[in-house]
């Protein structure tokens, strides 16, 4: 429904599909073209729209997320649905548990990614974000501590409130990493020489 995947394969058929993919040889690929596509299509099924969470909630998703300028605007729109909205209540509960920095970073990355002309540029942007997220003292480590280490499920986000996350703090995630930046041309050259 979201248009993200190219094929839908039921979980119970994945092992068989993998075996079929593994059995295809390079020679077969040369004769028939992309052998992976033919195997995937042989297992692909129409997932149908009726079971899609997104399809069932598309109107309220559009109402509360589409064209919102900030995470704070999204929160206000979700709160406006009232306590009778199961979708609104559950979504608010989830968002309120998350890192305020990560929420703002996610929204900004979606905006920027939509405008980038190539997958390489999107991957470079995401790589930069991941590297900043992995810096010592980040909310990433606090989330791991709260869920996996201490298992108290009480992260101490820094900052702890959305309104305290500045635009400047988010901009850091998108800055060049200099020599550490992802360089697809350099990586392509390395692979070509192998």
Q: Pick the residue with more confidence: 20 or 102?
A: 102
* pLDDT, position 81: 96
Check residue 194 and give its pLDDT.
Answer: 59
Q: What is the pLDDT of residue 69?
A: 94
Contact 74, 64 (CB under 8 A): yes
Is the predicted pLDDT of residue 84 greater than 90, yes or no?
yes
State the pLDDT at residue 156: 95
Of 86 and 8, more confident: 86
Instruction: Name the H helices within the chain.
Output: 14-23, 26-32, 35-43, 53-65, 71-80, 86-97, 100-115, 119-133, 139-144, 167-171, 184-192
The pLDDT, as a whole number, for residue 64 is: 96
Cα–Cα–Cα angle for 16, 18, 23, rounded to 5 degrees = 95
Instruction: Tell me what the mean pLDDT of segment 144-171 comes to.
Output: 95
18-33 per-position pLDDT tens digit: 988 888 755 455 554 5
Q: Can you tell me which residue has the tokens 């790589």?
A: 127
Interval 108-150: pLDDT, tens: 999 999 999 988 899 999 999 999 999 988 999 999 999 999 9
Query: How high is the pLDDT of residue 54?
Result: 86
pLDDT higher for 27 or 151? 151
Classified as helix, coil or strand, 84 is coil
pLDDT band per the 50, 70, 90 thresholds, residue 58: very high
**Least confident span in 8-22, 119-133, 169-183:** 8-22
Mean pLDDT estimate for the chain: 88
Say what the pLDDT of residue 39 is. Answer: 87
Q: Grade residue 53 by pLDDT with cuts at 50, 70 and 90.
A: confident
Nearest to 16 by CA among 32, 34, 40: 40
């Amino acid at each position: 429904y979201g248009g993200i995947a190219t094929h839908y394969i039921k979980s119970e058929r994945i092992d068989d599909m993998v075996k079929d993919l593994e059995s295809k040889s390079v020679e077969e690929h040369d004769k028939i073209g992309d052998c992976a596509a033919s195997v995937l299509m042989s297992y692909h099924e129409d997932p149908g729209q009726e079971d899609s969470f997104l399809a069932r909630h598309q109107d309220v998703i559009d109402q509360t997320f589409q064209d919102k300028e900030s995470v704070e605007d999204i929160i206000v729109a979700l709160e406006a649905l009232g306590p009778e909205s199961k979708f609104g209540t559950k979504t608010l509960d989830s968002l309120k548990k998350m890192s305020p920095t990560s929420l703002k970073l996610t929204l900004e990355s979606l905006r920027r990614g939509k405008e980038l002309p190539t997958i390489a540029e999107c991957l470079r942007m995401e790589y930069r974000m991941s590297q900043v997220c992995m810096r010592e003292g980040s909310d990433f480590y606090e989330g791991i501590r709260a869920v996996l280490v201490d298992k108290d499920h009480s992260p101490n986000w820094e900052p702890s409130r959305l309104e305290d996350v500045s635009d400047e703090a988010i901009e850091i995630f998108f800055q060049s990493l200099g020599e550490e930046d992802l360089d697809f041309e350099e990586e392509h050259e390395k692979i070509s020489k192998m």
